[in-house]
A and B are shown apart, each in its own frame.
Chain A
């Protein structure tokens, strides 16, 4: 899928998705950080539970939703990744509940 070009490969930040540790570049959106790590499915659709991942990358489609540690949803394409961040796949059954 996506691969980081050598020139942009400055991965220094560690973050967690679904309990696993990954590395990202400061300034990445969460979506870019996940895609760069080979993760294409970010969660499941709230209405029909189908697998979803980012589609538009400009905040319009809401298919990049993930859950933050406190249960809030976030659009991964608009949310900057931060060191130590813990995110989970979006799942309608746990949305709104803390980890």
Chain B
């Protein structure tokens, strides 16, 4: 076994959770290395923040105060003395804790005494008819282009629900590229469902007020806003050229060269799942997430999690959770005692609770509609990579296929390059909750390495591995 330890704490992911954690741990005296897939620190929300704030002030202003607010987090990280590896993707956490990383220089193995996974969230897939056409993207994708490259999404039709929909519509207006229309799937029923959660969220009225304010602002901007939209479908030949949908007023169709979809976020958990960290079903967020305690400790005692990859909580909560995990890492690494850890944690835990308070309300209000969770049009592509349509999965159910893993073997759904990221929730729902059993949670694919693409040649050239072969990861005991 190769015992060389490169650092005490490796942090995977450079969003608010990872940045806050790496900063606190480095300031606390630990040797820290932060690995992030992006070219600069910030994660999804604060993507490219240094360059935008520095060189593109008008875009920074359009992105808003919540965006610019991240700059302090990034600056503190830069000052902290934590090591930083941009453009470095972690593709496996091996059974013995070795980190397999791939970057511009090829693949390599790093070792740390503890790992903090802060890989964030991804947008929930929105399987509607036509969603594989070029020009059908996610709202986050368009926002990424705005942050990273100053590209504005002109004349887009935006469809879905959630804060990001409103935020991005306003950001687009602010940069002078208003959307053609915003189609909101939420309707009156969602507001009714959300009402009971209001009292608990009262402590965070500012945030709620912001949300309502966004909607008002959007409605008064002159952009067409349609609520209670269902049956969104993209049409087109070699690219999208229009979108059909149903509203209270009946069926409609709008021309569109760009359709942006969004139905909330789900944790980016493949790395953790392949590493064998236990998962749990989160009914409110309708997704699987990694089981962890209040310090972010997972079922593997060398791995902790923080931020959206452990359950969606937003950027402020992510940073607080990152700090808590970093405190625990300092304690476990012997830099601070238990009392110091717990004492310092109190205000952070209180802040975390405050940031999480409006979540139940948001979750009730912005719950993805049933038709997104369980598409019904037979020709809807469910697995984008392998082009597997709903009708093919229905046929499998007829064969008695008991769940997503057998469905995968039989149809190739989930076997393509994305390894099921965009279809597992749909396939799980279609194949495991019928007949509906109370309390039954959708099954998922078994996830295996690599979590990120790495070539045969890069793996062949790896050194620094345990001999003969290391521990088994992601084991299944029986």
The short answer to whether A and B are in direct contact, CB under 8 Å, is: yes
Contact of A56 with B141 in the complex, beta carbons under 8 Å: yes
Q: Which residues of B contact A80 (CB under 8 A)?
A: 39
Q: Of B134, B136, B416, which is within 8 A of A62 by CB? A: B416
Contact of B258 with A1 in the complex, beta carbons under 8 Å: yes
A1-B141 contact given A40-B239, A45-B132, CB 8 Å threshold: no
Contact of B141 with A63 in the complex, beta carbons under 8 Å: no
Contact of A46 with B416 in the complex, beta carbons under 8 Å: yes
Q: Of B37, B136, B257, B455, which is within 8 A of A78 by CB? A: B37
A8-B149 contact given A51-B238, A56-B122, A61-B418, CB 8 Å threshold: yes
Contact of B140 with A3 in the complex, beta carbons under 8 Å: no
Contact of B150 with A8 in the complex, beta carbons under 8 Å: yes
Q: Which residues of A contact B149 (CB under 8 A)?
A: 4, 8, 25, 27-29, 32-33, 36
Q: How far is the CA of A33 from the CA of B135 in the complex (A)?
A: 15
Contact of A57 with B144 in the complex, beta carbons under 8 Å: yes
CB of B241, distance to nearest CB on chain A (Å): 11
Q: How far is the CA of A59 from the CA of B131 in the complex (A)?
A: 17
Q: Which residues of B contact A65 (CB under 8 A)?
A: 417
Tell me, yes or no, whether B349 is within 8 Å of chain A by CB.
no
Tell me, yes or no, whether A47 is within 8 Å of chain B by CB.
yes
Q: How far is the CA of A31 from the CA of B148 in the complex (A)?
A: 11
Contact of A53 with B239 in the complex, beta carbons under 8 Å: yes
A59-B37 contact given A7-B150, A72-B455, CB 8 Å threshold: yes
Q: Which residues of A contact B39 (CB under 8 A)?
A: 27, 80
Tell me, yes or no, whether A52 is within 8 Å of chain B by CB.
yes
Q: Which residues of B contact A1 (CB under 8 A)?
A: 135, 153-154, 257-258
Q: Which of A8, A32, A41 has its CB near the most chain B CB atoms (within 10 A)?
A: A8
Contact of B136 with A4 in the complex, beta carbons under 8 Å: no
Q: Of A4, A42, A48, which is within 8 A of B134 by CB? A: A42
0/1 per residue, A39-76, Cβ < 8 Å to B? 01110011110111111111111110100000010010
Spot the interface stretch: B214-222, B326-334, B384-392, B400-408. B384-392
Q: How far is the CA of A48 from the CA of B411 in the complex (A)?
A: 13
Tell me, yes or no, whether B123 is within 8 Å of chain A by CB.
yes
- The number of chain A residues touching the other chain, given as a range, is 35 or more
A47-B416 contact given A4-B149, A7-B58, A41-B134, CB 8 Å threshold: yes
Q: How far is the CA of A4 from the CA of B123 in the complex (A)?
A: 24
A54-B452 contact given A5-B152, A41-B134, A46-B416, CB 8 Å threshold: no
CB of B221, distance to nearest CB on chain A (Å): 18
Contact of B416 with A54 in the complex, beta carbons under 8 Å: no
CB of A84, distance to nearest CB on chain B (Å): 17
CB of B289, distance to nearest CB on chain A (Å): 17
CB of A68, distance to nearest CB on chain B (Å): 12
Q: Which residues of B contact A58 (CB under 8 A)?
A: 44, 122, 140-141, 144
Tell me, yes or no, whether B10 is within 8 Å of chain A by CB.
no
A50-B387 contact given A8-B151, A57-B141, A62-B418, CB 8 Å threshold: yes
0/1 per residue, B403-441, Cβ < 8 Å to A? 000000000100011100110000000000000000000
Contact of B44 with A7 in the complex, beta carbons under 8 Å: no
A4-B150 contact given A41-B238, A51-B133, A58-B44, CB 8 Å threshold: yes
Q: Of A2, A33, A60, A72, which is within 8 A of B421 by CB? A: A60
CB of B434, distance to nearest CB on chain A (Å): 26
CB of A15, distance to nearest CB on chain B (Å): 14
Contact of A9 with B421 in the complex, beta carbons under 8 Å: no
Q: Of A2, A40, A46, A75, which is within 8 A of B145 by CB? A: A2
Residue ID in chain B nearest A57 by CB atoms: B141
Q: Which residues of B contact A29 (CB under 8 A)?
A: 148-149
Q: Which residues of A contact B134 (CB under 8 A)?
A: 40-42, 51-53
Q: Which residues of A contact B140 (CB under 8 A)?
A: 56-58
Tell me, yes or no, whether A35 is within 8 Å of chain B by CB.
yes
0/1 per residue, A73-99, Cβ < 8 Å to B? 001011010000000000000000000
- Name the 8 nearest CB pairs between A and B, nearest first: A8-B150, A53-B134, A48-B387, A57-B141, A32-B149, A62-B417, A40-B134, A41-B134
> 16 additional contacts, CB 8 Å, given A1-B154, A7-B58?
A1-B135, A4-B149, A5-B176, A40-B134, A41-B134, A47-B412, A51-B133, A52-B132, A55-B137, A56-B140, A57-B140, A58-B44, A60-B122, A61-B421, A62-B417, A77-B144
Question: Can you list 15 A-B contacts with CB-CB less than 8 angstroms, sorted by A residue number?
Answer: A5-B56, A5-B151, A29-B148, A33-B149, A40-B239, A41-B239, A45-B385, A46-B416, A55-B131, A55-B141, A56-B137, A57-B138, A58-B44, A58-B122, A59-B452
